[in-house]
């Protein structure tokens, strides 16, 4: 990888979209694995194993080639704050996945990019515009349909995922601020290592005396692979295709989550929840259009 922050070249848009689709599939696989393991083990243990494996893979694969460049930052405090935000997201989303289905968790999480659109004005000085406001309002309406009272979702699970959304908004805003000065691979290493250290320190309190089966050990290892590889492909996609092209593809993750939730847990969202997911996807498409047409020529 280049030492500089990647420019959005858009020279290979098809390859970028394919990498992005693969990344979203890996993220959905990670969520399904977390849900499966979180029903059998303490959530901090599950999250710790994800970060520890992710960090070890980066150290083994990247550290010999990257050396000190892997940890060199320009705004270390903000990089660490961004890493802590992702830790909070991981913890609360994992707690939510223990209580409500994968597709619904994924759908509610899409509140985060809509909130980023609204906060980009006062925080980043970006123009919101009428389309951005309409998209955000539609997105909120879609999330309310998915997480509506009486819809069968456990309220505590919805609360957990909303806490994850709040931390995710800060994470995304920091990502947009830091991308101009920090290398993506370095930020990825800091998220992995910070999570590994912090959640690893909690292991003595959450370690279980029940030994995992060989299949469960494989699942624990796979979380680091799917999470790490997913974020890596996610970054590569933005090198090959512009953000305005990739933004609508984000909502394919709801399809992956629904499909995997059906295959693994036999869960099918009800009609109103599906309608809410469609509305969320439409609002996301509107945000993508805003991004495309608001860019200077």
Q: What's the CA gap between 79 and 76, in Å, rounded?
A: 5
Tokens matching residue 269: 């969202």
CA end-to-end distance (rounded Å), the chain: 28
Span 123-127, average pLDDT = 63
Residue 280 to residues 23, 134, 224, 235, Cα–Cα distance (Å)? 20, 12, 29, 24
pLDDT, tens only, 169-197: 888 788 778 877 888 888 889 999 999 99
Span 101-121, average pLDDT = 77
Span 83-94, average pLDDT = 92
Percent of the chain with pLDDT over 90: 24
Contacts (Cβ under 8 Å, ≥6 apart) of 196 = 48, 51, 52, 54, 55, 56
Q: What's the CA gap between 41 and 28, in Å, rounded?
A: 20
The answer on pLDDT for 29 being more than 60 is yes
| Cα torsion 88, 20, 78, 133: sign | negative
160 vs 145, residue with greater confidence? 160
Confidence band, pLDDT 50/70/90 cuts, at residue 6: very low
Where would I find the H helices in the chain?
13-38, 43-61, 63-66, 76-97, 102-109, 111-124, 129-146, 155-178, 184-201, 203-206, 214-240, 243-246, 252-265, 271-294
pLDDT, tens only, 225-277: 998 888 778 777 767 776 656 666 777 777 788 888 888 888 877 777 788 77
Q: Are 102 and 277 in contact (CB under 8 A)?
A: no
At 248 the pLDDT is 64
Crossing angle (nearest 10°) for helices 111-124 and 129-146: 150
Contacts (Cβ under 8 Å, ≥6 apart) of 97 = 31, 34, 35, 38, 105
At 261 the pLDDT is 84
Cα-Cα-Cα-Cα torsion 216, 217, 220, 223, nearest 10 degrees, comes to -100
Residue 290 to residues 43, 89, 140, Cα–Cα distance (Å)? 38, 26, 17
Confidence band, pLDDT 50/70/90 cuts, at residue 122: low
Q: What's the CA gap between 212 and 270, in Å, rounded?
A: 34
Among the residue ranges 15-19, 199-203, 273-277, the one predicted with the least confidence is 273-277
What SS3 class is residue 259?
helix
Confidence band, pLDDT 50/70/90 cuts, at residue 134: confident
55 vs 206, residue with greater confidence? 55
Q: What's the CA gap between 208 and 204, in Å, rounded?
A: 9
- Choose the most confident range, by mean pLDDT, from 59-68, 126-135, 146-155, 284-293: 59-68
Q: What's the CA gap between 66 and 218, in Å, rounded?
A: 28
Q: What is the mean pLDDT of the chain?
A: 80
């Amino acid at each position: 990888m280049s030492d500089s922050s990647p420019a959005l070249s858009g020279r290979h848009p098809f390859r970028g979209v394919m990498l992005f689709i693969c990344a979203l599939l890996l993220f959905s696989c990670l969520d399904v694995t977390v849900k499966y393991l979180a029903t059998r083990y303490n959530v901090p243990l599950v999250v710790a194993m994800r970060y520890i494996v992710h960090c070890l893979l980066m150290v083994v694969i990247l550290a010999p080639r990257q050396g000190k460049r892997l940890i060199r930052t320009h705004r270390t405090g903000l990089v660490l704050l961004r890493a802590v935000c992702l830790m909070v997201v991981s913890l609360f989303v994992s707690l939510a996945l223990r209580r409500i289905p994968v597709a619904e968790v994924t759908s509610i999480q899409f509140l985060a990019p809509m909130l980023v659109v609204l906060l980009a004005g006062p925080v980043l000085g970006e123009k919101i515009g009428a389309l951005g406001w309409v998209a955000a309002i539609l997105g909120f309406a879609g999330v309310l349909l998915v997480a509506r009272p009486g819809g069968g979702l456990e309220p505590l699970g919805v609360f957990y995922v909303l806490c994850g959304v709040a931390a995710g908004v800060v994470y995304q805003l920091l990502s947009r601020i830091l991308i101009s000065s920090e290398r993506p691979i370095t930020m990825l290493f800091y998220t992995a290592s910070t999570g590994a250290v912090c959640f690893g320190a909690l292991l003595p309190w959450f370690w279980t005396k029940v030994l995992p089966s060989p299949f469960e050990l494989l699942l624990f290892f796979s979380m680091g692979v799917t999470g790490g590889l997913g974020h890596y492909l996610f970054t590569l996609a933005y090198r090959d295709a512009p953000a305005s092209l990739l933004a609508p593809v984000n909502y394919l993750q709801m399809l992956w989550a629904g499909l995997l939730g059906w295959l693994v847990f036999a869960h099918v969202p009800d009609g109103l929840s599906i309608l809410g997911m469609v509305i969320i996807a439409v609002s996301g498409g509107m945000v993508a259009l805003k991004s495309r047409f608001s860019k200077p020529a």
